[in-house]
Amino acid sequence: MSIAQVKRTAVQKTARTGVQILTYQYHFDASSDTVSCPDTAHRLIDYYPVDTLIAEITGAAPDARFTPSDYVFERTGWQSWDAGWELFEGETVPKYKTFPIPQWKNYIDVPGTVPTKDNELGQFLIYLRWGDTYLVLAATSDHTPPVQYRLNRRERTIATEVYANGKTWTHDELTTEITCFIAEGYFQLKDTIRELFRTDRFDTLNFLGKRPGGWESWYNHYNTIDEKLILEDLESLGRTDNLIRLMYSDKGQPVVFQIDDGWQQGTGQWEIRRDRFPEGLAPVTEKIRGKGYIPGLWIAPFIFDMRTDFIQKHQDWILRDTKGKPVVAGFNPSWGAAFGKNQPAYPYSYFVLDLSRDDVLDHIDHVITRAINEWGFRYLKLDFLFAGMLNGQFANKGAAYQWYERAVARITSHTTADNGDPVAFLGCGMPFESSYRYFPLSRIGTDTKEHWDSPDMKFLNWVGRPSAYVSMKDTLGHAFWNESIFLNDPDVVFLRKDNCSLTDSEKELLALVNFLFGGQIMHSDDPAKAVSEEEISLTKKILSLYQVLENEEFGNISIESDIYYIFSRSRNYVGVINLSEADYTAATPDLCSAAKLENSEISPVCGNVTPLDAADGVIWVVPPHSIFVGKVQ
């Protein structure tokens, strides 16, 4: 397998945004083959010197904008919980310490990736950024294998490969399409991407309202839920001064009420736990609809706990490796049996179904249709989807991406219930490139947390850890996707006092990052407890900020690690997000420059900032873990 087996053609056009778009198509060339056989490793399809690529896009040698070596690299990440933020020169994704929990490695790397020295990995859509100039490479073809890029900063090269292990190619078959362009400024970047990716996919979400939102059970109760608890939360949601009632219900906007993990008999055994929901789930959804809400349910359709009766009856449905052992999908003490003589792999592991089997697909389809048509759910959060992209000895051969796409296409074909009601899906823990066509509403970062960070997981350098800090890094890194590739789900906001260590400043920061750079607002606090003067006051403060900023579209640019300048498309607002551990000092001229404004006066809208007089304008001291937004006068 070599680059010689791929033919490249190029087409150039001008986008409506005015940028030059260069599209490379790569077709398999079997003329040198003597035997056709499946790919056994990632297939290299091209190797771009960065300067040559710039010249091919612009028709001229790179100018001074592109000469510095200290450009920023946006890597995207291969699935929701991979690192999705920009990397400055000298930065790399922290190397995960696999020794205690090797299973989590599956969350980070494209399966089958072989690390190479001096390479930084990116997937799907990447860019190199010099100041406010972006060189973008995006995989834009349908039904082709996922793309991975290897950036070598020292040599200024980008190698492109596809994850097609198990794929047998035919002559002249399209292997992938890579679209390249250069954008000046954040909004030209976002608008050009919106032109490249079909945004009418978002029409299926119209019934959720302009900005979907609601309540979910996970980040307060986690998996210890039952019918009594859920119905108490349902009753309280419309009674107390909580965020969702004030932001959505009181304004006549649709509200999702989602039941998360804990309702099922076991992971993979998607039967109702009658000790927790003795009347089943249909009576619960009837009560949810009776309150005027949209019933939502969490399911992880591709994975299973080895201890379930379900999998003991379907041993032939397990995806196995070349040695016949079950393919490990990840680690979760709640889902995986402890290590022992009957444990087939690592302790506390969960595993993946063989999606190439028609009977497995029929089973998953039955789970989904029953949730929709028998139980009455209209919003399904499908989690841990990346597991469907793991490679193994498929019963029907082929490549993982082919079986994954077949599965999600069938699942998401259920756009309406039997009674005609619309249905929406939220993709989570999913491979971005193979999922965006099917899950227009998707989680674009790691899980958040009611704490700033997770020290133990941070020590392991696990970038997929649940963490308010890491979640915001991902949300800011993927902000330019919102309403262009996905309707970004940034996870929940926290306003509660109980069971939450976030400060009010951190809660305000998280609430505004999600609002300004995401497309959905979800809440998980106990609505029955939203009665204290302190919580109501914070809730109303956040809502007043939402009201002021609701018609503004914001962009951001990272100035250094954990420091972001933010600005609205209208140029009415500028500001700073400080995720760091120290004060950050921002000068008014620099903030105005980021928004492409002449130096102007700024009046604070939010943020506990300290203004200092300077010769050329005010300097703003922004505290750690906070956001500052200013109105341009």
Q: Where are the beta strands (DSSP E) in 274-347?
A: 294-299, 303-304, 328-331
pLDDT mean over 228-248: 98
Q: Give CA–CA dist 484/492, Å, rounded.
A: 21
Contact yes or no for 1/10 (Cβ under 8 A): no
pLDDT mean over 276-305: 98
Q: What is the pLDDT of residue 600?
A: 87
Q: Give CA–CA dist 343/305, Å, rounded.
A: 11
- Helix ranges (DSSP H) in 133-225: 186-196, 218-221
pLDDT mean over 309-332: 95
pLDDT band with cut points at 50, 70 and 90 for residue 448: very high
Q: Give CA–CA dist 377/500, Å, rounded.
A: 30
From the CB of residue 37, how many other CB atoms can be counted at a distance below 10 Å?
A: 9
pLDDT mean over 410-419: 98
Q: Give CA–CA dist 178/323, Å, rounded.
A: 36
pLDDT tens by residue, 613-629: 876 778 999 999 999 99
Looking at residue 140, its amino acid is T
Contact yes or no for 377/421 (Cβ under 8 A): no
Looking at residue 505, its amino acid is S
Residue 126 pairs in a beta bridge with 137
Nearest partner of 306 among 286, 277, 326, judged by Cα: 326
Q: What is the pLDDT of residue 60?
A: 95
pLDDT tens by residue, 208-224: 999 999 999 999 999 99
pLDDT tens by residue, 345-376: 578 899 999 999 999 999 999 999 999 999 99
Q: Give CA–CA dist 439/547, Å, rounded.
A: 28
pLDDT tens by residue, 581-610: 999 999 999 999 999 998 889 999 999 999
Q: What is the pLDDT of residue 2?
A: 60
- Whether the pLDDT of residue 341 is over 70: the answer is no
- Whether the pLDDT of residue 508 is over 70: the answer is yes
274: tokens are: 């009658």
Q: Give CA–CA dist 529/583, Å, rounded.
A: 34
Q: What is the pLDDT of residue 476?
A: 98
pLDDT tens by residue, 129-158: 999 999 999 999 999 999 999 999 999 999
Pairing of strands 20-28, 6-14: antiparallel
Mean pLDDT of the chain: 95
Q: What is the pLDDT of residue 583?
A: 97
Q: Give CA–CA dist 257/250, Å, rounded.
A: 15
Please, what is the Cα angle at 389 between 388 and 390, to 5 degrees?
95
Residue 488 pairs in a beta bridge with 442
Nearest partner of 571 among 607, 599, 543, judged by Cα: 599
Of residues 389 and 345, which shows the higher confidence score? Answer: 389
Q: What is the pLDDT of residue 345?
A: 59
pLDDT tens by residue, 526-584: 999 999 999 999 999 999 999 999 999 999 999 999 999 999 999 999 999 999 999 99
Q: Which long-range contacts (CB under 8 A, 24 or more apart) does 116-120 make?
A: 116/150, 118/152, 118/153, 118/154, 118/155, 119/150, 119/151, 119/152, 119/159, 120/73, 120/75, 120/87, 120/92, 120/93, 120/150, 120/151, 120/152, 120/153
Contact yes or no for 444/479 (Cβ under 8 A): no
Residue 8, burial from CB neighbour count under 10 angstroms (0-12, 13-18, 19+): middle
Q: Give CA–CA dist 503/583, Å, rounded.
A: 16
Contact yes or no for 573/605 (Cβ under 8 A): yes
Contact yes or no for 390/400 (Cβ under 8 A): yes
pLDDT tens by residue, 81-92: 999 999 999 999
Q: What is the pLDDT of residue 130?
A: 97
pLDDT tens by residue, 156-181: 999 999 999 999 999 999 999 999 99
101: tokens are: 């929990």
In sign, the C-alpha dihedral spanning 425, 427, 431, 433 is: positive
CA atoms within 13 A on the CB side of 394: 22
From the CB of residue 623, how many other CB atoms can be counted at a distance below 10 Å?
A: 17
Q: What is the pLDDT of residue 614?
A: 74
pLDDT band with cut points at 50, 70 and 90 for residue 1: very low
